[in-house]
Structure 1
């Protein structure tokens, strides 16, 4: 069976609707008693603990019964929006419910209500039921007392009208009943007929849940003993572990709905029944549904509603609003309260919040520890990244300093070399000025980078032109070669006349003449040690 064809018989934390009355089980007797009380009194105040099922009882039980058996026409207001005038909300609901169109422009609100009743009586003799749900919303500290007082005054006048078949039902949480009576002081008709609705017991819920599972599509058969174990897990705080213990209806619905879905997906296969993980998954889904406000809701739960040992703590409403983003507190708090994640109680003119169950508190503590662990890990990583950045910075600075120092050293060496070469250049210029071109040439030859020394080429040319390092070595015939000895002190020449001569390099003195060839000599050269001379002749011989 596809997911679209499945019908889960458990609505979860929301109230039952009129179209679900066939699955609204276990409240048949109390439905009849409340309907009789409504028929007998012009106004009935329905009260009970949060989550006891007041809205479900009216919407899926009492209202359908009164409409079918007595022909009632119903006007219902089930929410009171902040910033909206309550009496205006009721007047619009009456005109809409009686199909009278829009509220006439310029008509006062009390007069508009009277006009709606007058027109409704004229159009039909059928009785009228006006059902106002969740009146505790009008008693919150942030509500202006004036508009609320105007609504209560008009309701009191409406309840006293001598109109046969006009019934009022005012529904609110019992922890707001005292404040309601204070606000409605002098209008006893609004609260003197009270009807309390208590939660179902474990035994009653076991029967209802087992029957409901069979009404789903596909039908499931649940063993009463396993359902009993499940319901005992969601009994009220401080309740004994018996069938008479009261059940927290919202959590019972949540775990039953999730269990039914799980078994439908597995083809009805029964598994271990444990409510706690179901509530944990439900909490995660509820927070996820808040979208961009999820983080703010988690911070509220983790930092303000659970102690370090996992126990639930209380938080006053004004404190809760102070820690949430301005303008979004109502959205977060109402969403968490509707989902039964938060439980609200009236306290000295305000409200306090606490987590709906100890299991939720344990899960919130777990989420808190996970978050703190992630934050600590992120801080550690940030410290590591910062440390690495510092090391990179230090290394970069060190490298830059090293490069700078190396550059400065090279610059200093270059500057020193340039200074030395400039000094040599200056010396060469000085010797040149003294007409000692040979010394100037020798000094100029010691400059390693002449291209970097200004005037070197010009001075070198001048020195070479005027150099006196010229020795004439006379010969009777043309010379074919000449070579210096390794020490540069002597020169050997090879002549066309077949002789070789060894001269002093300065040209002084008489040469040593080496004879013995009849043919001209091609070449002559000294041995590497300068001790011997080798000659080569055109006759193809060489002599040492």
Structure 2
């Protein structure tokens, strides 16, 4: 101690194995004397065997000081050492690293020598850990959470930064660090972390294997046993262990629910252990996933304490300058002016978001690598690579287009789709994939993309497929900044969601006992979708996923065969019944005709007999005979009429029975077809008798029940204002008063992402025609465009002076039209967000606006009781549709653009000629305000929805009278009744939903 107080210079010898632990305290003391007032020289002496890697054990501050190399064998270096010790020289430092920047990937403890600019945050984190054994680092993706924990905190912890400063005598405690990532299996992640820590300690393979054995699948049940494994066989009484759970949000998003709670409970128990051998737990969590901790009350309660959460902000200006300049000095770049200029330019280009720091790191790494092409000028290289905003995209695209061959470029999507996942709260995230998910070609491509020569776009773990080695993208910024990757994911968004479902289903199927696997096979629409995915995207799939699809298809074929056999038996029974009834009817008709013939013959014989007896008698009785004959003919006609009526009734009964049997046969597999068949058995006129009423009602009721809601989309916290399908039908977007729009998987009903950003109720949401974007309209006077694959807000459309009630894309996706209560509609450029024109003319609030199918016109609906058609190119009003007696709430073109349908508060909907503005028909029948009207795809029908709790279907061609059928009105591609009639050879079946006969009260639910 006396020596260090009196010393005028401090030198540290760095040998081939770095700096020995027992002098680490002295090194830190020397560093403290080398800063501030009265600073003394601090000199690094690099021995002959020292390499840039061997200095990694030194504290980061040590490595910005000047050094000399092998002075005992180099007189020049020895002279430099003497001059430095005497403070006579300020020469360039020895080159301590060849790579000052690491690029996008997180910095690990091995790279702590280049971790600068976050000293204040490290100190704050240390103080949080002094007070609490469990602490979370929360920040945006790219802000440096992982680097702060692994390259900032971990080396400080190993150096005893948490040791009691008031303690007298040497501190013999061991400060031990384990780093893990949960992924989809936190226990497996814990095993990997322990194994890596043991390997760094040079423990034998036998000991490492023993440690892994202490962490079986149910290891978390015995926290003490798991704690022993985490200490890596170090003595419990003197070992303090830091467990860094990096990417903790993976536990909340990738790990199956049954495994989450036990692992969180284990972490809490671990942090509660005090003596012997305490544990400190640090979690790194993305800020947008922090609220997913809420269901785990014990953890969430602790994290509400501000002392337990470090919210990582944007790096300070001084910190950024240090993070740029010091690593450059370590790499031997001595031009101070250019160092400073590069730091300042980086600062100017860096955004305000903490997550942009990752982009700056990528830019600096690329600049350093490319400097020689610009004569060593870092500034020229910086401009060439595109700066902070362009370096990553340029590097990735240059790698794809200039370094990969055609076959590799074709294989690229099949690699990247398995390295991303859709987030629980929005966006696309990186996914940790196992090597066993890829074939050899994709693995070779991944290895290339992980190398320096190919931009380090991926991180590939050491080990083979059998060792469960992992592959991941270098950083999530790659997903958001590389246009090719974004476009690839956007264009395949539906298939990406299907692949994610397939991964999950195939994983559960593979993990299930052999005898129970059939329970986990896909069926119905999901099976069809996964089979289509296998057909179109086979290169995306792993071998287990292909096996799962094949097993699901085989089970379907087996079940379908059984179903068809059952249906064939039912149809045969129905046909037999119909044939029997037909034969009975035929026999009845033949008997009646024979009786009539015999009666006529008898009458003729009687007349002939009377004629032979006497002519006078004949004359006398002629009138009587004629009268009796007339009566007999009347009786025969009545008999024939009754026979015909009976035959018709038998035929109707026969047909009804057959339709009822067919309806029953289709109930399970096609409720829509079953409902149509049951409706076909209904009478065709109001005064017709209702045959088989009970059977028909039962079948129709069951079918309608089957046709009701398939999925309930739960998640909004307030009223839902609109819902719309994506063009491919795989997703639904909803808009609600809770200030959000949400995207849902239409097959499973699962919420895939939340679109947050509006400051008030979101009133409408709609997809673009290609399904890649979403436009929302809200009460905050804005509309916003979002990336449908990532959930990222692309732009905000500002300009309206009141609530925006609707927004819709043009058919080609290049424009957006909005309708507002400020009495205007506006057209916007969907690429730039620029307002193209304002449509002025309405005298009151505008409720809706929509493009025509060809994009040349816009129709608007307003509270001023009118709808108006506008020229979408000039903004000129073409015509006004007048006729409603109250506010017009919606207006839409037919599919061919020749007609417009409007809905109004006056309880009517109306159809208009879009060329002349003439009202074609008024649809009357609703008992309350009509809020929407929509044409069927073929334009022959109109569906309306009203506040009278009904939706109605109308014939748009002739009969302005609607059927009351209180289910949701939607147009689905399916057989209509005439197709079914033709398929089954049925005749005289007239179309339904044309006002022929209303449904009975029993079905008006």
Per the normalisation by structure 2, the TM-score is 0.29
Q: Deviations over 1:117-157 (max 9, x none)?
A: 357474541211111110111222x5311111111121122
Q: How much has 1:67 moved relative to structure 2?
A: 0.6
Alignment partner of 1:7 out of 92, 95, 98:
98
1:279 is matched with: 392
8 Å Cα contact 1:7-1:218 kept in structure 2? no
Q: How much has 1:21 moved relative to structure 2?
A: 1.9
Q: Aligned with 1:341: secondary structure?
A: helix
Q: How much has 1:96 moved relative to structure 2?
A: 6.6
What is the rounded CA distance, in whole Å, between the counterparts of 2:417 and 2:177 in structure 1?
Answer: 40
1:188 is matched with: 301
Q: Aligned with 1:25: secondary structure?
A: coil
1:117 is matched with: 227
What is the rounded CA distance, in whole Å, between the counterparts of 1:229 and 1:105 in structure 2?
Answer: 50
What is the rounded CA distance, in whole Å, between the counterparts of 1:45 and 1:199 in structure 2?
Answer: 17
Whether 1:19 aligns to 2:110 is yes
What is the rounded CA distance, in whole Å, between the counterparts of 1:357 and 1:229 in structure 2?
Answer: 26
Whether 1:67 aligns to 2:158 is yes
Alignment partner of 1:76 out of 153, 158, 178:
178
Q: Aligned with 2:107: secondary structure?
A: coil
Q: Aligned with 1:129: secondary structure?
A: strand
Q: Which structure has the highest helix share of the two?
A: 1
What is the rounded CA distance, in whole Å, between the counterparts of 1:299 and 1:80 in structure 2?
Answer: 21
Whether 1:268 aligns to 2:376 is yes
8 Å Cα contact 1:14-1:338 kept in structure 2? yes
Q: How much has 1:44 moved relative to structure 2?
A: 0.7
What is the rounded CA distance, in whole Å, between the counterparts of 2:416 and 2:183 in structure 1?
Answer: 25
1:258 is matched with: 366
Q: Aligned with 1:22: secondary structure?
A: helix
Q: How much has 1:317 moved relative to structure 2?
A: 4.8
Whether 1:30 aligns to 2:121 is yes
What is the rounded CA distance, in whole Å, between the counterparts of 2:352 and 2:361 in structure 1?
Answer: 14
Q: Aligned with 1:227: secondary structure?
A: helix
What is the rounded CA distance, in whole Å, between the counterparts of 1:145 and 1:45 in structure 2?
Answer: 21
What is the rounded CA distance, in whole Å, between the counterparts of 2:300 and 2:343 in structure 1?
Answer: 46
8 Å Cα contact 1:139-1:180 kept in structure 2? yes
Q: How much has 1:110 moved relative to structure 2?
A: 2.1
1:230 is matched with: 346
Q: Aligned with 2:282: secondary structure?
A: strand
What is the rounded CA distance, in whole Å, between the counterparts of 1:17 and 1:118 in structure 2?
Answer: 24
Alpha carbons of structure 1 residues 292 and 227: separation in structure 2 relative to 1, 3 Å: same
Alignment partner of 1:166 out of 274, 279, 301:
279
Whether 1:338 aligns to 2:454 is no
8 Å Cα contact 2:154-2:177 kept in structure 1? no
Q: Aligned with 1:338: secondary structure?
A: coil
What is the rounded CA distance, in whole Å, between the counterparts of 2:475 and 2:275 in structure 1?
Answer: 36
1:149 is matched with: 261
Q: Deviations over 1:4-63 (max 9, x none)?
A: 997120111112222322221111121112112112212111111111111111111111
8 Å Cα contact 1:16-1:59 kept in structure 2? yes
Q: Deviations over 1:286-324 (max 9, x none)?
A: 656886542458999xxxx9xxxxxxxx98559x99xxx
What is the rounded CA distance, in whole Å, between the counterparts of 2:191 and 2:365 in structure 1?
Answer: 37
Q: How much has 1:265 moved relative to structure 2?
A: 4.8
Alpha carbons of structure 1 residues 172 and 261: separation in structure 2 relative to 1, 3 Å: same
What is the rounded CA distance, in whole Å, between the counterparts of 1:114 and 1:292 in structure 2?
Answer: 51
8 Å Cα contact 1:206-1:228 kept in structure 2? yes
1:204 is matched with: 319
Q: Deviations over 1:303-357 (max 9, x none)?
A: xx9xxxxxxxx98559x99xxxxx779x99984572622249x989655627899
Q: Which runs of 5+ in 1 are unaligned?
A: 238-245, 306-313, 322-326, 359-544
Alpha carbons of structure 1 residues 132 and 39: separation in structure 2 relative to 1, 3 Å: same
2:147 is matched with: 56
Q: Deviations over 1:405-424 (max 9, x none)?
A: xxxxxxxxxxxxxxxxxxxx
What is the rounded CA distance, in whole Å, between the counterparts of 2:176 and 2:346 in structure 1?
Answer: 37
8 Å Cα contact 1:79-1:133 kept in structure 2? yes
What is the rounded CA distance, in whole Å, between the counterparts of 1:105 and 1:58 in structure 2?
Answer: 24
Alpha carbons of structure 1 residues 293 and 76: separation in structure 2 relative to 1, 3 Å: farther
Give runs of aligned pairs for residues 314-353 of structure 1, distance below 5 A: 317=428, 335-336=472-473, 338=475, 340-343=477-480, 350=752, 353=790
What is the rounded CA distance, in whole Å, between the counterparts of 2:299 and 2:792 in structure 1?
Answer: 37
Q: Aligned with 1:353: secondary structure?
A: coil
Instruction: Compare CA radii of gyration and give the structure with the larger one.
Output: 1
Q: Deviations over 1:475-506 (max 9, x none)?
A: xxxxxxxxxxxxxxxxxxxxxxxxxxxxxxxx
Q: Deviations over 1:515-537 (max 9, x none)?
A: xxxxxxxxxxxxxxxxxxxxxxx
Q: Deviations over 1:388-447 (max 9, x none)?
A: xxxxxxxxxxxxxxxxxxxxxxxxxxxxxxxxxxxxxxxxxxxxxxxxxxxxxxxxxxxx
Q: How much has 1:177 moved relative to structure 2?
A: 0.7
Q: Deviations over 1:87-129 (max 9, x none)?
A: 3432564477466533248784124541243574745412111
Alignment partner of 2:242 out of 129, 143, 150:
129
Q: Aligned with 1:235: secondary structure?
A: coil
8 Å Cα contact 2:140-2:286 kept in structure 1? yes
What is the rounded CA distance, in whole Å, between the counterparts of 1:166 and 1:56 in structure 2?
Answer: 21
Alignment partner of 2:357 out of 246, 249, 252:
249
Q: Aligned with 1:167: secondary structure?
A: strand
Bigger mean CA offset, 121-130 vs 9-18 = 121-130
Q: How much has 1:185 moved relative to structure 2?
A: 4.7
8 Å Cα contact 1:18-1:60 kept in structure 2? yes
Alpha carbons of structure 1 residues 220 and 21: separation in structure 2 relative to 1, 3 Å: farther
What is the rounded CA distance, in whole Å, between the counterparts of 2:245 and 2:791 in structure 1?
Answer: 26
Aligned length in residues: 326
8 Å Cα contact 1:129-1:168 kept in structure 2? yes
Q: How much has 1:176 moved relative to structure 2?
A: 0.9
What is the rounded CA distance, in whole Å, between the counterparts of 2:268 and 2:219 in structure 1?
Answer: 14
Q: Which structure has the highest strand share of the two?
A: 2
What is the rounded CA distance, in whole Å, between the counterparts of 1:22 and 1:129 in structure 2?
Answer: 20
